[in-house]
Each structure stands twice: as C-alpha cells, then as structure tokens.
Amino acid sequence: MLFYTKDRKKIILSHDEFGKGGEGTVYALERRSEYEGSANYVAKIYDCGKVAYDERKLEWLRGILSESKCIAYPRELLYDDKGNCVGFLMPKYTGDTLYMTVFIPKVVKESGWTRLELALLSIRILERFISLHENGILMADVNPNNIVVSKDFVPYLIDVDSYQVGIPEHPLFVPTCTCPVCTREFLSPRLVNSPDLSNCYRTMEDEYYAIAVLLFKIFLVGKNPYARNGVGSLEANMMNMDFVFPEGYDDATNMPRGPWQRIWYNLPGDMRAAFYKAFKKREYTSPKEWIKIIEAYRDGIKDGSYPRVIFPSDNVKTLKKFLELPPRGLDENASDYSGLRNFDNDVWTEGKESDCAFIEFGTNTLRGFEQRGDALPGRIVIKTSHFECVKHDGEMDLEKLSEKLDSSCESLTQWRTFIKGIKPKVKHLHAFGGALLRNLKNRSNVIEVIKEKTGISFGVLSPEEEARALIESGRKYKSNSTNMLIVDVNGVSMFMTHYAKAESENVKYWEIGNYGSKVLCNRLFAASHVDTMTRTKFEEHDKSIADGLFNICIGHSNMTLVGMGIICELIQNLRKRPLNKTLEELKNEREKLTDLFISSRKHMVADLKNDHDEAMMRKLELRLSLSVYISLMEKFGMASMTILPFGLGESYINYYLNNK
C-alpha cells in the first residue's frame, strides 16, 4: 500500500495489520518507505480508504502535541494519490493494552505485579492526562485499549485522533473539535443518554468521571464501580448513583463480598473516600489531587504501612462482615411493645418504696445495685460478654446467650439472696437494659430468654429516658452549666444529649450506631487487611471518625462537654469524682495507647486481632473511642471536657429514683 506525506515522500505500508480500531487499521511501515526512522513509526489508515473526517483536527493535534512524550500524536498526515487525507503516521509503541495488563484478574495474578506497580502505573497515566489538559485537550474517549503499557510500566497513549481539542471550562475556549466516539462504561452520567456525541463538547467534569472509573478499574483489577452481581445495568446503577462500596466505616449491605471486599479495604482511606465521592456524590477529584493520594499510598506500600498483595486471600482477612446493628426505637404499635416496657418485678412485696434493687443488662455485664435509704448503691458485677452473642446480622444468638446466663445465674442468685436479707429490706426489684437490648433485631426473644433463665423480666429504656437520665447526671456535676453536650460512647452506640437550660423541656438527643466502642473494634478489623500496620490503620480510623462526625449540627456555641461510657476508664481509681481533661491531654492519652500497642509488638492489624487479652482489647476500645470525643471537641471548639465516673446504669437509677 502506497501513500504520501504532505511533501510527497513515499510511505509504503506492510499488509500485516499492527492493530485495528473502530475507525481504522494500523500498519507497520516497510523499509522502502522514504521516511527517516520508519521502523519507529506506524500508520493509521481510515477504513475503506475513507477521507479523514477532519484533516484540520489532525493538523491541530500534530502542532499541539509535537513536544509531548509517550503520546502517539500525528507526526505526518498521509494522502492517497488523489491528494485526499486518509490517515497519519504516529510513533510506534509496543506493549500490551491497559485492558490486557491489569483488567483481567487471571493475567494480573500470573504477572507477579504488586500494589506498588499499580500505583506507579496510575501516577504515570495521570501525568499523561495532565499533559493533555495543559495543552487544551481532553482524551474524552477514555478507553483502556488506547493505553499501551510497556514492560517497564510506562504507559503510552494511542488513537489520539479521537481526542477533543478545546476545553469548555478554559477561559480562552474556542469551539474546535469534538470527540464523536465513546466507550460506554467511561461515559459520564451527564452524557450517558446523549444520542449523538459529534456535536457535544465534553467538560472537565466528564473527563474527571472517566478518570475515576479508570483508576477504580486499575486498583480493583477490572471491576466497574457500578457492577453488581445480576442487579441492574451499569448505566441504570450509574444514573441512580448505586455505588455499593462504602466510604470509611459505613457498611453497604449490597457490597460485593469475597475478593472485591478484601481488595477495597486493602486501599487507603483517602482513596476509598475519593472513589465514594465520585460515584456516590458526583464530586470528582482532579488528576493532580489523585496523584497526591496515590503517591502517599505508594510511599506507604514502600515503607510497609500497606501490604503489597493485590489479591488478599480469605485466610488473611480479619472479618468478612460488619456488624449490622443500627439504632432502633420503640414502636408503641409493635406487637412486642408491652413486653419491652415491662420494668416492674414485684418479686418480694408489692409497692415501690425507696429501698430498691436494680439490675442492668449491659453490653458485657449483668450489674446489680441496691439502694438502701440515703446510701449510695452497692453493686455486684457479673461478666457475661453479651456482645459476643450478637451475630453480624444484628440478632443475638439465643443459644449462646442461654449458655452465658447459665454461668452467671449462680452469682446473680447469691446476690439476690443477699439483698433479701439486708436491713432495711429491699422491697422492689427494677430491671432494665439500654442500647444493646434496644437495638437488637430479636430483642423481645432475648428478653424471654433472660426471664426464663433468671426469673426476671427486663424492660428496655427508650432513647428519651436515656437522654433524660444523662441530663440529670450531667446537671448533678455541672449545676452551673446552662448549655451541655453529654456524650456516652458505650459498647454498641454513641448517645449524645444536648441540654440548654432555656430548652430543658425539649430534650434533644442522637443515637449513632457506628460509634459504639465494640462496634468501632469490629469495624476496624472488618475494614483492615491484617498486614496493614497498626499505626497506619489507627490514623485512618481517626480521620474516618472526624469525617463521619463532621455533619453533626447542634446549633449552639460555648457548650460544656460531659463524657460518659468507656472514657470513664481514664479515671481509674478516682471513680468517686469527675475528672477534667483538656483536648491536648486526651490526644496525649490516645497517643500513649497507640504507643502501648506498638511497644507490645502489635505492629500489624493481625497482632491486634489475635490478641485475646481482655484488658488489652478493652484498651483498644478506649483508644478507638477517644477519637470520637476528640473529634467532637475539635468540631465544636471545646478546649476541655468533664468525664463522669460512671455509666448509664448509675445515671438511670438516679433518674428513676428522682422521677418515679
């Protein structure tokens, strides 16, 4: 095949195809061609000898990209013997397409690549995009088959004649040449229903969306962000923003399990957040911002903060599921409502005299309190680890619960026998449970098991009762404060109550299930790869907590913060009185706990997960929960907080006695 350059140099093409696309065929040049270095070039000839649809565009691309590296720009336009432009010469680059390199899991597994190579390749691809954009060009038709990857991980851009010349957002934009073609899965939501792209100018937002899809498919080895197992089409899921991979610690019930879940949580938090914003909120990250995120990831891989493995296997994943235990209210119309509110147990005598006993069904314990006259409650604590009976679907395993109650009933019976005989005699037993019982899916069945095993009916506190109990505890120690935020991080949720003296009758409260101390532990492990460094995962955890609490809006300033729950463990032996801590002191406490785990040779997440020391796991809960209090203090500009020396049980007893 014989063609000519503009200055009539003969270009003789081989009959062997070098490559083929939707618009034309690429051929190698024969040595007889009258072009210097012909072996380093190939020629694209439009199909069936068609005249180039836009010779002017090829000339523009040739002029704009002549100094660009690793881009197969039109070096010379080619003409037939009648002077019609039928194609162009471009630099020849060898290698496999991006699709064949990293989008086929079997190929990637056999390649020996690691996460480091994926990061390096992604950075270099992003640099190519930046080069195009700085020259006023959009790739527009983002297509993994138009990126060739060499053996040393260098990406080359080919098929550039489809690029769009001119960027609408540029202040000096002049309509020049559009991109009439597309690869559907990279087409932005704005254009997905466009019947004709030939007169449609792509925007930077369209390009940023396509880049996000490309990067997602690189790091998740060919997985499309909107692909779900047999559910909806890619385009339908995209239009509905049905992206099922979660940001931070928020679980998604439709998230693909198995390898995709493990790969997702193998990525750093900043990268997951950028993908989430792109595919769930349509907030796109620029190539320069992407490079910063991936460079930090690359450095983390190099220093061991993140594992190199691309496909984490089952036996190195800490957990397969998050705990699904969101807050649940008490529906007065529900069939089990009356059973859930059965607090009173007239076990010994009738009446509700002031001498009462209380049993709290907690996350880890059964706690018994006796109130005799003006004396402070005495108590017994029976370790039961009820939380260990909760399954990932939010139901409690009744058989396991029954076994744990069997082991604790003897101690409970001994305590009840004791309080029957003391003087003044306890007249009434009041039993209750807080957030754990309230939020279980099968809470009424749990109450029946407890009643059967112990002979005691348990009632469930309503969120408002819990809020008012916390208010009274806070006011007891902060009587001069007219504006308090009381935060109780317990095992299964974070409960916040806002009290302003002028609004004391309108209690405001929030229960957030993702921030309970035990749930935080569960989520840390479920969102981790065991070979990730502990310090790295702690840092991601802290950022995730801060980001998650960012949108909480209370609308008051100059609030006093009162902390309860697991944070009271900082008081240690000073349980008779509150403790004041500044923001800096709490940060120091958090760092001390971090150092404790590192110095205890808990360098990797696997070391945390395999630690069965109950005291260390409790310290892990405290370490993770401190980030909740610190983030709230930073959000509301609080310099210090007061930690109360007890939890919900004592608060509710005080509330009950004062309001019955």
DSSP 515-554: G-HHHHHHHHHHT-BTTSBHHHHHHHHHHHHHHHTTT---
C-alpha–C-alpha distance, residues 387 and 381, integer Å = 16
C-alpha–C-alpha distance, residues 298 and 212, integer Å = 18
pLDDT at 249: 60
C-alpha–C-alpha distance, residues 516 and 519, integer Å = 5
**Does an H or E element contain 111, and which?**
helix 105-111
pLDDT at 66: 85
**Residue located via tokens 């945390």:** 608
pLDDT at 629: 97
pLDDT at 524: 87
Order across the sheet with 96-97: list the strands.
Answer: 96-97, 147-149, 155-157
Strand residues in 449-592 grouped as ranges (E) = 459-460, 483-489, 494-500, 508-512, 560-565, 579-582
Closest of 63, 57, 58 to residue 43, by C-alpha: 58
> Hey, what are 424's tokens?
């003044």
Tens-place pLDDT, residues 541-584: 999 899 888 878 787 778 899 999 999 999 876 556 889 999 99
C-alpha–C-alpha distance, residues 277 and 286, integer Å = 12
Q: Strand, coil or helix: what is 455?
A: coil
CB 368 within 8 A of CB 357: yes
Closest of 151, 362, 118, 84 to residue 222, by C-alpha: 118
pLDDT at 529: 76
pLDDT at 357: 85
> Hey, what are 231's tokens?
């559910």
As a whole number of angstroms, the longest Cα–Cα distance in the chain is: 116
DSSP code of residue 39: G
C-alpha–C-alpha distance, residues 189 and 234, integer Å = 11
> Hey, what are 165's tokens?
């010349």
C-alpha–C-alpha distance, residues 42 and 33, integer Å = 11
C-alpha–C-alpha distance, residues 179 and 23, integer Å = 13
What's the Cα-to-Cα distance from 522 to each of 112, 517, 628, rounded to whole Å? 32, 9, 15
C-alpha–C-alpha distance, residues 157 and 138, integer Å = 12
Tens-place pLDDT, residues 207-231: 999 999 999 999 999 999 998 766 6
CB 478 within 8 A of CB 655: no
pLDDT at 486: 94
**Residue located via tokens 């997440």:** 605
pLDDT at 39: 86
Q: What residues in the chain have per-residue pLDDT under 50?
A: 51, 315, 317, 347, 350-351
Question: From the centroid of its chain, how far is CA 324?
Answer: 15
C-alpha–C-alpha distance, residues 214 and 155, integer Å = 13
pLDDT at 376: 59
DSSP code of residue 65: S
Sign of the C-alpha dihedral, residues 322, 327, 331, 336?
positive
C-alpha–C-alpha distance, residues 479 and 473, integer Å = 10
Number of CB atoms found within 10 A of residue 392's CB: 15
pLDDT at 314: 59
Q: Strand, coil or helix: what is 417?
A: helix
Contacts of 337 (CB under 8 A, 6+ apart): 330, 331
Question: From the centroid of its chain, how far is CA 423?
Answer: 56
pLDDT at 12: 92
For the chain, which domains are there? Answer: 2-91 (3.30.200.20), 96-309 (1.10.510.10), 337-460 (3.30.420.40), 463-659 (3.30.420.150)
C-alpha–C-alpha distance, residues 562 and 484, integer Å = 7
- Omega into 424 within 30° of 0, i.e. cis? yes
Number of CB atoms found within 10 A of residue 414's CB: 10
Number of CB atoms found within 10 A of residue 607's CB: 15
pLDDT at 52: 53
SS3 per-residue string spanning 246-311? CCCCCCCCCCCCCHHHHHHCCCCHHHHHHHHHHHHHCCCCCHHHHHHHHHHHHHHHHCCCCCCCCC
**Residue located via tokens 């981790």:** 528
